[in-house]
Structure 1
Amino acid sequence: MSWQRLHRNTVVVTALTMAGVGLSVATPIVLGMLRGSRPAGPVLLIALGGVVALTGLSAFADRVRWRHTSYRITGERVELRYAWVLHKLRSIPRERVRTVDLTANPLLRAFGLTKVKIGTGQQVTGQQSHLTLDPIDRARAEELRRLLLDDEEPAPAAGEVVPAARPPIAELDWAWLRYAPVSVTTPILGAAAFGAVMQASDWFNLQGAVFTTVRDLFGGLSVLGLVAMLVAVGLVVGFVGSLGLFVEMWWRYRLTREKGTLRVHRGLLTTRSLSLERRRLRGVDMFEAFGARMLGAARVDVVATGLKATTENEKSNPKTLLPAAPIAIAQRVAVEVLGASPLSDVDIQAHPPAARARRLRWAVFGVAGVVAVLALLGALFTVVLLHLAWIAAVVLLPVAVALAVDDYRNLGHGLSGDYLVTRYGAGSRHTVALVRSGIIGWTVRSSPFQRRSGLVTIAATTAANSGEYFVRDVGENEGLRFAADTVPGLLTPFLEPRR
């Protein structure tokens, strides 16, 4: 393939994007200046000039980038070249391509464009682990995805019956929407809404009116009642916002199996299509967030080389194969992805009581530390903090103990066929199935407190995702034996009999 340019409409997209950014920044500044009785004409003229200058400079810079950037795909490599004042050539071997990620925000979709991110399996930060073609034509992007991941189905021979299309592994069920409000995003969105209202009212010099309205509506309530009412309103706003966020992220969600790849397609305003080579899979992580766990739901994340926990400008984790869904569906998806059922077949081994005692001690000591600080400050400054100290003890101690007990009950490990299974978490729970052949090393950690209790934490090292998966606070002999049995010969040379 000869050198090709990115799509020329990238300049228009950049200009429109920066015009929107400029207007959003200029609006509160203009409102603040007009509130100070300054003449409107010069203020608006300066603001408009700033927006035009920002838009023009950004469009010019992007045109330079477009004119001097090109890419090509050869039989062996994917290459991206920038050749102007500073010449730069980035290249990755095609056999190292692990993922092809197609993303299109509303502006790109309006112009029929897509950003393509070609990822490798390197566990490095920055842009060294991927090439980004931003943007190219949507049809061309799909062609590149099939080419790089070898998804082309062979043409049927003459007279051969064309096989029916494979059914998807999972599709969006709108009943899953009920799990969105029980996530941590609900209170965060509620608090963000309050902040946005206060900021906007400040821009328009209406904060006094906002406080007056709140006083008129809830003036008959006590301070405690007013706080409770505002919290309730915030939760309602967060509830609605979490539903909207779920719809935006998982609209038209489909998890499909193609030739040699898994593909996740989703998104309402910003569409996302991630293709992952099946031979790069190293396992799955079934994550039960606290709220979803209470409702019997779990999320399924993939453990694979070439994926990071987070990427820039992401609203959700790129390694998520299935949003929060009923636990039976999550287990079925895990089985279809792995081709085995280690999560349901494994015999989970409990950890020794010393692990529970360790967690209870940390829970009590943590609460005691908070109470001691409040009590000391109360003795020095005000009796109010003394009351906060005993209230904190009454409220926090049962919660901390309950989380410690739950953390211990969730601890477990085991072997199931070709997979290591480890489970952990307080409140929220992770159950990870990691293919044993993908483990390339072991790390054994033991703090002074663990050594006193005869415990160790072992970490299976793998070239996928975070790079380590832990079996926490297991008995020393059991942990070392488990590691030796998981990958025979890897840890054994470093073990010696206890004298």
Structure 2
Amino acid sequence: MIDPVAETVWRRLSPRMLVVHPFQEVVRAAPALLGLLVAGSSSGGKGHLWTVGGVGLMVVLGMLRWFTTTYRITPEHVQVRRGLLTRKVLTVPRDRVRTVDVTSHVLHRVLGLARVEVGTGTSERRHEGRLKLDALTTAEAARLRVELLHRSPAASTASAEKAVVTPPAGSTPAAETELARMRPEWVRFGPFTMSGLVTVGVVAGFVSRLVSEGNVDLGRVGPVRETWRWFSALSLPLEIATVVLVLVVFVSVASTLGYVLAFGNFRLTRHAEGTLHVTRGLLTTRATTIEERRLRGVEVGEPLLLRAVRGARLAAVTTGLRAAQGAQRGGSMLLPPAPRERAVSVARLVLPRVSAGTRDARDAAASGGASPVTAGLTAHGPAALRRRFTRAYGVHALVLAALLALCWWAGLPSWTWLTTAALLPLTALLAADRYRSLGHALTSGYLITRWGSIVRRRVVLECDGVIGWNIERSFFQRRAGLATLTATTAAGKQGYQVRDVDLAEALRLATAGTPGLLDPFLVEARTMSTLSANSM
């Protein structure tokens, strides 16, 4: 419980951050520091002195972050004040707090610290609606999370005590219900997440910057020179096969390792206070709490490779959380890549249950199940199918024409356009798969939309969370009698589309989803039609 006397007093972060902040600054500047060391040493200068000076500067900057950052929590606001030359005060009303994200990196865990990130649901794409406290003690972070979300001082103290006390192995606190837990067999989905591609980019960028800053000639490095000599002696097909094989192996290993580190010890629980709590991570632990009353739906994502092994991931459509941050889905992730059946079952548990006596529930039950997660979808018509193939073939033709032009004018090898022409059947398969993924439904008070091929997504959005509808029609859509219906919401990506649907069906969905919202426009349209007919 927050001391009323201390509520108006500006407080500092934990003094242990005097160790963490300087370390973070040194790591962030590591390529430049290594470049100074290598460049100074190779030119006969005192590179080590420049490096020591740089490290000292980074340490001072890190310490200044602690001295210039203060915060306070009042009954109405959470405020953070930071800056040395320019003072900034970020104020978040407590009634606007939507989520609290608690993260502990390796050094944080060693020192018993945690970083608290408070989400308000505003400007999440620019990160302007998030307040960060880096960092507090673990006990203070757990207590603050409960205090800000539940806003009940008495309950907060008891809940915070339970949050910092580790239950016996194999037991579950009475105040929570476990919905999902990481299974060892889920690791097999790691190589198919392709998150290792990010590792390839990071490593390549780090090496490139190190070589540039240090003015290093890789051709003089023995192992690199010998490897390049062996690689250059291969034929072109063997070179391509070698590069692909090395890349696949590296990405698979990196993806699996990243999966284990990011999602190890994963648990999804429902708490009696009306929240969903997600904890995960081995080296870096992360705990995210979502108020169920802020939940507006779920998204089942199936990337192409993950779908090939019957896997999927689950994310929440809720206010106050970043909609997407790579494979980890930012803070909105409810289930990591796992068997698709498990993702569907967790989605059914997370979504509010349909009342048994409502007409929507009876209709859903008659259609084969009360959950909108498994409801059947309405396929889009022949016009949408033609549009998928027209767009796919059009892009393919443009690429092929560009390659032919480059072959004619710039002497590009002929195998480039021949390979592109040979990929035409693959383009047809992609277009057909994109059409099969299209679908929509409106049942049990939820709008359901599905789209995508490289990443197929099925979004179940609560109609009560829709604040507006937007109907867009491009030039070609108008000729085909199609439209794209966008349900605008304050949650998730703030807009979810039903793509290439008949105009009449788009109007029906919008009218049924939010009864009465479009009546003035529809009445006006009918009146204008009547007047036009009478004038004729």
TM-score, normalised via structure 1 length: 0.89
Aligned to 2:190: 180
| One-letter code aligned to 1:15 | P
- Which deviates more, 78-87 or 359-368? 78-87
Q: Does 1:478 align with 2:502?
A: no
1:115, 1:337 → 2: CA distance?
27
Instruction: Check if 1:46 corresponds to 2:46.
Output: no
Q: Look up the equivalent residue of 1:140 and give its one-letter code.
A: E
2:421 equivalent to 1:393: yes
- 2-side partners of 1:229 and 1:475: how far apart? 49
Show CA shifts across 1:411-433 (max 9, x none): 11111211111111123211110
Q: 1:196 to 1:170 in 2, by over 3 A?
A: same
Q: Structure 2 vs 1, CA of residues 169 and 460 (structure 1 numbering), >3 Å: closer, same or farther?
A: same
Aligned to 1:159: none
| Structure 1 partner of 2:358 | none
Corresponding residue of 1:97: 97
- CA drift of 1:184 comes to 3.0
What is the match of residue 25 of structure 1? 32
Going from structure 1 to structure 2, the CA distance change for 1:462 and 1:220 (only over 3 Å counts) comes to same
- CA–CA separation in structure 1 for the residues paired with 2:327 and 2:158: 37
**Match of residue 133 from structure 2:** 133
Residue number in structure 2 paired with 1:12 = 19
Read off the aligned partner of 2:241 and give its amino acid letter.
A
What is the CA-CA distance between 1:207 and the residue it aligns to? 3.2
Offset, 1:192? 5.5
1:431-470 superposed matches below 5 A: 431-470=458-497
Kindly tell me: are residues 471 and 238 of structure 1, through their superposed partners in 2, closer, same or farther at Cα, counting changes over 3 Å?
A: same
Q: Cα offset for 1:461? A: 0.7
Q: Secondary structure at the match of 1:420?
A: strand
Q: Equivalents in 1 of 2:112, 2:120: separation in Å?
A: 26
Tell me which amino acid in the other structure corresponds to 1:269: L
- The residue aligned with 1:274 is 288
2:383 equivalent in structure 1? 354
Alignment match, 1:169: 179
Aligned pair 1:289/2:303, yes or no?
A: yes
| 1:177 to 1:8, Cα distance in 2 relative to 1, 3 A | same
**Map 1:205-244 → 2, pairs under 5 A:** 205-208=217-220, 209-214=222-227, 217=230, 221-244=234-257
SS at 1:149 equivalent: helix
Which amino acid is the alignment partner of residue 19 of structure 2?
V
- 1:191 CA displacement: 6.1
Structure 2 residue identity aligned to 1:62: R
Counterpart selection for 1:376 from 405, 415, 428: 405
**Secondary structure of residue in 2 paired with 1:351:** coil
Aligned residue among 293, 301, 307 for 2:321: 307
Structure 1 residues 82 and 233: CA distance shift in structure 2, 3 A: closer
Q: Confirm or deny that 1:73 pairs with 2:100.
A: no
Structure-2 change in CA distance of 1:32 and 1:223 (3 Å) = farther
Question: 1:194-224: per-residue Cα shift (whole Å, max 9, x none)?
Answer: 6766777886655342444225655763222
Cα shift at 1:492? 2.6
**1:155-214, Cα deviation, whole Å (9 max, x unpaired):** 89xxxxx99354411111121111121123244545655676677788665534244422
1:100/1:116 contact within 8 Å kept: yes
Aligned counterparts of 1:345 and 1:484: Cα–Cα separation in 2: 23
Instruction: Indicate conservation of the 8 Å contact 2:25/2:58, yes or no.
Output: yes
Shift of 1:138: 0.9
Counterpart of 1:177 in 2: which secondary structure? helix
Give the secondary-structure state (helix, strand or coil) at the position aligned to 2:312: strand
109-118 or 5-14: bigger deviation: 5-14
Q: Using the alignment, how far apart are the partners of 1:369 and 1:83 within structure 2?
A: 52
Cα distance in 2 for residues equivalent to 1:344 and 1:314:
21
Q: Distance in 2 between matches of 1:402 and 1:220?
A: 37
Q: Distance in 1 between matches of 2:465 and 2:182?
A: 31
Amino acid at match of 1:389: W
The answer (yes or no) to whether the contact 2:270–2:276 under 8 Å persists in 1 is yes
Shift of 1:267: 1.3
Name the CA distance, whole Å, in 1 between partners of 2:54 and 2:80: 34
Whichever residue aligns with residue 286 of structure 1, its letter is V
Higher mean C-alpha deviation, range 5-14 or range 252-261? 5-14
* Equivalent in the alignment of 1:428: 455
The one-character-per-residue Cα deviations of 1:341-393 (angstroms, maximum 9, x if unpaired) are 534442311111111101111111111111111111222232x4444223211
Question: Counterpart of 1:90 in structure 2: which amino acid?
Answer: L
Q: CA deviation at 1:446?
A: 0.4
CA deviation profile, 1:430-469 (whole Å, cap 9, x unmatched): 1110001111110000011001100000001111111111
Contact 1:286 1:431 in 2 (8 A): yes
CA offset at residue 490 of structure 1? 1.3
* 3-state DSSP of counterpart to 2:296: strand
Q: What is the rounded CA distance, in whole Å, between the counterparts of 2:27 and 2:173 in structure 1? A: 48
Distance of aligned partners of 1:127 and 1:179 in 2 relative to their CA distance in 1, 3 Å threshold = closer
Q: CA deviation at 1:237?
A: 1.3
**Helix, strand or coil for the counterpart of 1:479?**
helix
Structure 1: stretches of 5+ with no match in the other structure: 157-161
Contact 2:372 2:444 in 1 (8 A): no
Q: Deviation of residue 87 (structure 1)?
A: 5.5
Of the structure 1 ranges 483-492 and 467-476, higher mean CA displacement relative to structure 2 is found in 483-492
CA distance in 2, matches of 1:197, 1:84: 34
Q: Tell me how far apart the structure 1 counterparts of residues 231 and 173 of structure 2 sit (CA, whole Å).
A: 66
Deviates more, 1:120-129 or 1:271-280: 120-129
Cα distance between partner residues in 2 of 1:199 and 1:82: 31
Displacement of 1:261: 0.6
Cα 1:72–1:268 change in 2 (3 A) is: same
Q: How far has the Cα of 1:394 moved from its partner?
A: 1.2
Question: Which whole-Å deviations, capped at 9, do the CAs of 1:99-158 have from their partners, x for residues lacking one?
Answer: 0111121122221111111111224554541322221111011111111122838989xx
Is 1:58–2:62 an aligned residue pair? Answer: yes
TM-score by length of 2: 0.83
* Structure 2 CA distance for partners of 1:166 and 1:352, relative to 1, 3 Å: same
Look up the equivalent residue of 2:48 and give its one-letter code.
L
1:484–1:281 Cα change, 3 Å: same
Separation in 2, partners of 1:124, 1:188: 23
Report the residue type matching 2:445 in the other structure. D
Q: Measured at CA, do residues 346 and 319 of structure 1 come closer, stay the same or move farther in structure 2, by a change above 3 Å?
A: same
Give the count of matched residue pairs: 484
Local SS of the residue matching 1:252: coil
Say if 2:101 and 2:289, in contact at 8 Å, map to a contact too. yes
Return closer, same or farther for 1:70/1:402 CA change in 2, 3 Å cut-off.
Answer: same
**Contact 2:146/2:156 (<8 A) preserved:** no
